[in-house]
Amino acid sequence: MTTEDEIIRIAKKMDKMVQKKNAAGALDLLKELKNIPMTLELLQTTRIGMSVNAIRKQSTDEEVTSLAKSLIKSWKKLLDGPSTDKDSEEKKKEPASSSQNSPEAREERVRSRIANLKDAKNPNLRKNVLCGNIPPDKFAKMTAEEMASDELKEMRKNLTKEAIREHQMAKTGGTQTDLFTCGKCKKKNCTYTQLKPALNSLKITFKGEVIYFVQRYSQGS
């Protein structure tokens, strides 16, 4: 079984767990993924990131969610490419080093661009290059993030939004209220966090104030 087949097998199992709302065994699957060397191509073809993120959202097991977050964070670095915006600015100011101009480095850049042009899930890049919308000199300087398919860009955007929202929730800690009933233990000593409108947030009106919140488990659960 190839590495891609192995990842697809794990992804299918995770998708079934999400459908059945039963994440038993998810930790073992995540540990398997941790030991598999991931590449950008494997992330694109298997869509394993979406499966892991779905498990992370559904599971109440702290170890499962922690490992899932760790994997997603490491994979996001592959989506973002090897260099940051700061690195790019510094490279513009500094002359290219001998290692960057080495035959191996040039060959790697060529391989990367050929792979992106051949990517069936990235037709817009190929079309823009062939039609001249992206000139050859610009294409030669594009980063991995700029060449990414619309699907990968959307995935990166969603992961970034998710990370920012979780950071905000962790920072604020939420507000105590007895207006809501915990779906797990049926108690009313819950907390809610006020957020900007999101697709998965719940909207209520209380004393004339519109609140978007994410309900958490009560302190007694």
Q: What is the pLDDT of residues 42-57, one digit of tens each?
A: 888 888 888 898 899 8
pLDDT digits (tens, 9 = 90+) for 6-26: 999 999 999 999 898 888 899
- The CATH code of the domain at 173-215 is 2.20.25
Q: Which residues in the chain come in under a pLDDT of 70?
A: 80-101, 163, 165-181, 188-221
* Beta carbons of 115 and 41 less than 8 angstroms apart: yes
Ranges for all domains in the chain classified under CATH 1.20.930.10: 3-80
Q: Report the alpha-carbon angle 44-146-123, nearest 5.
A: 55
Ranges for all domains in the chain classified under CATH 2.20.25: 173-215
Tell me the CATH class for 3-80.
Answer: mainly alpha
Residues 6+ apart with CB under 8 A from 199: none
